[in-house]
Amino acid sequence: MPKGGKPFSKELAEAKFELQEGVCAACGEPLYKNSRTKGKPRAWHAHHIQNLTIDQSIENCAVVCINGDDGGCHIAFAHLGNTQGPTMPKEEFKFLWSERARRWKSKKANDFPLGVKAHLRDESGTVVWVEPPILYVLKDPEE
């Protein structure tokens, strides 16, 4: 996939950032939510895991660090050092979902008021991403 493909929406990228609890999906380093330009402190990129920008689902999104001469985990890890080649398989990302997100990932979207794909925040501040039939919840709703 040549460079310049369609990026993830800001809304989806930030939802994934929260579902990873703000750490790089590959190395686990904490990142700054508003730092999305290379060279800025703790900067990150919303990477397409399968390198197919046609797949804009949150399952295909990995928030990864981008600083350093090697391009950070985005280039050195996720793109195996070469943006023109194959990409790292999803299974190799150790921090793709936070423990809490992992725990609630399979909860059926039916349990949530029916809606379209959306980034929502309920009254308790719980961050959820509805991508039927899966509901991602950052915070245990029972807490």
The yes or no reply on residue 24 touching Zn ion (CB under 5 A) is: yes
x-marked contacts with Zn ion along 27-46 as a string, rule CB under 5 A: x-------------------
Q: Choose the stretch contacting Zn ion; rule: CB under 5 A; options: 36-44, 50-58, 66-74, 128-136.
A: 66-74
Kindly state whether residue 65 participates in binding Zn ion, applying the rule CB under 5 A: yes
Stretch that binds Zn ion, among 1-9, 45-53, 70-78, 108-116 (CB under 5 A): 70-78
Is the bond into 30 cis (omega within 30 degrees of 0)?
Answer: no
When asked if residue 73 is in the footprint of Zn ion (CB under 5 A), the reply is yes
Q: Closest approach of Cβ 17 to Zn ion, in Å?
A: 13
Buried b (16+ CB within 10 A) or exposed e, 15-41: bbbbbbebbbbbeebebeeebbeeeee
Could you identify the residue written with the tokens 């921090």? 95
In degrees rounded to 5, what are phi and psi of residue 109?
Answer: -65, -20
How many residues bind to Zn ion according to rule CB under 5 A? 5
Sign, CA dihedral 124-18-94-60, equals positive
Q: Which is nearer to Zn ion, 27 or 134 (CB)?
A: 27
Give the list of residues 6+ apart from residue 122 with CB closer than 8 angstroms, or none.
128
Q: Which residues bind Zn ion (CB under 5 A)?
A: 24, 26-27, 65, 73
